[in-house]
Structure 1
């Protein structure tokens, strides 16, 4: 394990993760509502790229004001992003696909935060993420020293999306279209490392989701009909599959 690379990966994850809460706050609305354009205190969210990029805080209005903070995961998002990026850097090492995995991790944390808050995986993130992931892995396959296969990445992306699409058609109440679209990215990353990684990551997603559901039932924080966001477990399964296969 390259300690320097691990620390650099964690540092990148922490900095990128600090930008997640603002975007998560803007995306965390019900399907019929527009993306938020103001903070809870009414400040217009301005800044780079239409105000989507920046910390989830507004400046104070005066000496007596402390300035508002908003968005889910003010501390959790940067910590999770830093930990995941550090782990990926440690297990993947200096292979070129590490850059792709580090780049997609903050977006994965963003999707997990939004799905956890409102049970929604916005198309504005899932679809560009899928296309970008497949394209970047394709470019990575042209570089020496890579540790995967682009054709299985594409096949894995389509196969996992087909699986989740079938589950959606069978039981729309238990699986959302957002999960199907997220499966395109998850399948590409897992498929890059081969079919065993794809199977492991998929089973891990359902396994961790089932364990969490049982824990909620045991602690009486939910009942059998309680809806549960599945996106975070898909992403956790992807991490397990990548770590195991690397």
Structure 2
């Protein structure tokens, strides 16, 4: 017996809102206990972020969907641009938590502004943003991105990634340092002392212990973990993620940066 059919309208959506989106989708597929499209929308609206209306008001182009379920899964499968195309927003399909990627143009890149002999800003066919940052040559590599915690999902552990590619000709990117810090709680010096060692090429993984190496994403880009943090109450704080190599001061070339992504663990 399909016991969902015995419940008053609205109860089913209330019950399933405490499960995952995957469980809700399965229940919809096998049960006839959903009496109307309105009840379906009521459920899937509960899987959307509480501040979704505010977020959607900042879209570059509106996301048109025939139902809340379609909207939910479209945001899981296809990030949407907002804030004039400098930020992308999506949902994590497993948890429904918010994901954001800051475009390279919004990052603080040392020597990245008005210095085309160091960094060049170009269009890339695989990027979700209009421009990416292409490193020609620098000795001082320093990239930072900052996100306000009030935009992120509460009570959630986030992992922060640099999303990048390597040009055919690249060098000097074997070793760098990375960290994530709460700007008002942890000083730069403290964070640098606790920074992890990463490789953008992964060639030294067999020779160094505890070296983070890049992973290939489903969209064809690479990502390297910069660090993680817990967004507990979602208070109005800034979290900074930083990648740097400012000690060896050897030449570095061939890094193509799309952005920095904040994604639920």
**Normalization by structure 2: what TM-score?**
0.25
- Greater C-alpha Rg: 2
More helix by percentage = 1
Bigger relative CO (Cα 8 Å, ≥ 6 apart): 2
